[in-house]
Structures are given as structure tokens and as C-alpha cells.
Amino acid sequence: MNAGTAGNGPRHTVLRRPGARDGGFGEGDEALRVMERAAGVDEGKAGLTEGSAGQGEKPAQRPGVKPLYLGRKDRIAEAAEKAARRAFLADRVARLGIWSLSALALSVVALVIGVILWNGLGTALSPSFLFGKPEAMREGGGIWPMVVSSFYLAALTLLMVIPLGVGAAVYMSEFAGEGRLTRLVRFGADSLSAVPSVVFGIFGMVVFVIYLDLGYSLLAGALTLTLLNLPTVMRSAEEAVRSVPVSYREAALALGCTRWETVKRAVLPVAMPGITTGAILCVGRIVGESAAVIYTVGLFVRKVPWSPLRPAAPMAANIWHMYTEGALVPDWFRVASGEAAFLLLLVLTLNLAARWVAGAVRKRMGYRV
């Protein structure tokens, strides 16, 4: 009889790990540890079930240890609460960053506008300055020839760029099929929109001023600005035409209209607010352009230019002239500051007019702004 069974004491079953000689797993084997761990978890679950059924009390847990009795719904709720707190914190941080960057950008714009208006608003609102003749050697001159030159140049440019830009937009969106050529044209227009205006100015000086022998004139400047603004006008007009619902075209064609009648009577009237907005914004860009007109139009004139073949001096170019070469004029700073303030007010007025015209046209046609 074995020693474990001798005597009157209780019999104990001795558990030992199977050795290699028993044909089982070796000592420290990972599979045996997994089995023992699973057995311990099962015993814990059994004890938890008995305690819950007997007394209805939850076993005490050590601090910092998650209780084992949390169900799936409780764990999901806890995870959702943590995710909500992280999302709230991220939202606050993002909102603070956006507001800070917006405030910084608006502060810079307000500072620039405030400095320009502080230095020249009083002079810009003076009738003698606005309608006066400029002086080359004496103080007290005005800017009336420069104002006329700016609007004259803008009118000549619009006469050329609007028909070309809108016509190209209508053809690209309504008549030309999608293919390599149309994609190439759009890519070229987008690429030209990113070219600096001084490059167009040098091109205009070489081609229009020198090669075509137009000299420094309003016509040479208008041709140069037409090339500068044509891609922008064409792309904005094309987007306005493409925004017209397809049902308008289908209804017009169903009534027996030709393709051109559909475009003229159904598409263009609906797209007119976008086209008008683009044209007015183009005027603001023409009036405020300086790099392109310095090389093609001129810097200073004393008389109002009535002929498109005469030199002129748009306001933007004359401001640059006053700040760089206008030291012979005793009050050059007053003239330059007043002209800059008037030009700033003019550009802001044109931008507001573009929004007002677009809204008025939409309301007249029955659209909501």
C-alpha cells in the first residue's frame, strides 16, 4: 500500500505536472499555463455567481482595478463617455485655434485699411483733390486725370474680355464635348490665372508697345489686361453656366427650341447673376492693377486722355510713381495717401456692388440669395 493511503487520515490527491517521461507537456509549457488560467477564471465566475445569488452583494475590489461584474452595456457606456469627453476637448481646442487665426487675419486686414484711411481719407474726400489737375513741381495737385484713366482702361478691357470670356465659357460648357482638348483648355486657363501680373506686363510691353508699335497707350494696357483677366472671367462664367439645372435645358429642347435658343433664353438668363458678379469683380481687379499697366500705359499725365492711343496714368500706377519717383512734388505723401485711400474705397465699393447686383438679379428672377 502506498504511503499516501496508509493510516486513518484523509486521502489527498497529489497534482503534479506531467513530465516528459509521461508523454505529456514539459514543465513551464505555455499550453498548461493557459489551461490553469482558464480553470482559475471559471472558479472565480462560479464563486461570483454563488455570492450574487446568496447575498446580492458585489465583492470588494482593490482600488484602481476594474470590477469583473461590469456587463457589456456598462463597458460600452463607459467607453462612449470617455470618447465624448475627448471629442468635447478636441472641439474646444479646434474652435479656439480657428477663432485665434481668424482674429489674427482680421486684425492684419483692419490694420492695413486703418493706416491707409488714417493717412489719406481726409484728402480723398476733398473735391479739390478729386477733381483737380495734378502738379509736377508744385504742391496742391489733384488726381482727376488718374481717375478718368482708370475707368477708361476698365471700360476698354471689359469691352474685350467679357465677350471673349463668356463666349468661350458657353462654348466649353454647352457645345464642346468632354475630351482632351477641353481638359487642356481648362488646365491652361487655370495655369494662366496663377501667373504673376508683372509677367503679363512685360509680355504686353514687348508685343503691343514695341512689336505692334502701339506705344504707351490705353489700348496697349487694355489688351494686356484682357489677357490677364480672360482666364478668370472664362472660368467664373463657365461655372455659372454649369450651375444651371439640366431640367431647364431639357424643358426648352422639349418645346422645340434649338440649341442656341436654349442657351440664349433658358441658360444665360439664369447664369447672369454669376456672370455679372465676375464682371464687376474683374473691374475691381483692373482698377487696382499696377504691375501690368506700368509697362504698357504710363505713370503720370496732367491732362485727361480721351483717345485710346494716348498715354494715361491709372491710379495704381500713379501711386507707385509717387512713392518711388515723386520726390520732386513737395506734398507727394499727401497725394499718394489720398489717392490710395480713394482707390481702396473704390475697390470696396465695387465688391459690395457685385454682391448687391447678384442679389438683386436673383430676387428679380425668383431665386433666394
What would the pLDDT profile of 226-250 be if each residue is shown by its tens digit? 999 999 899 889 888 988 888 888 8
274 in Cβ contact with 355 (< 8 Å) = no
Residue 312 falls within a domain, yes or no? Answer: yes
Q: How far apart are CA 257 and CA 100, in angstroms?
A: 55
Domain region containing 343: 122-365
Q: What pLDDT is attached to residue 206? A: 94
Residue 338 falls within a domain, yes or no? Answer: yes
Say which DSSP state 212 is in.
Answer: S
Say which DSSP state 25 is in.
Answer: P
Per-residue pLDDT for 24 more than 90? Answer: no
Average pLDDT over residues 53-70: 49
* Between residues 276 and 342, the one the model is more confident about: 342
Residue 113 falls within a domain, yes or no? Answer: no
157 in Cβ contact with 219 (< 8 Å) = no
Q: How far apart are CA 58 and CA 47, in angstroms?
A: 11
Residue 55 falls within a domain, yes or no? Answer: no
Number of folded domains in the chain? Answer: 1
Residue 28 falls within a domain, yes or no? Answer: no
Q: How far apart are CA 69 and CA 78, in angstroms?
A: 14
The mean pLDDT value of the chain amounts to 80
Residue 292 falls within a domain, yes or no? Answer: yes
Q: How far apart are CA 341 and CA 62, in angstroms?
A: 74
Residue 98 falls within a domain, yes or no? Answer: no
CATH number of the structural domain spanning residue 346: 1.10.3720.10
Residue 113's pLDDT band (boundaries 50, 70, 90)?
Answer: very high
Residue 299 falls within a domain, yes or no? Answer: yes
> What pLDDT, in 10s, does the model give residues 303-320?
889 889 999 999 999 898
DSSP string across 261-298: HHIIIIIHHHHHHHHHHHHHHHHHHHHT--HHHHTTT-
Nearest to 223 by CA among 164, 171, 167: 164
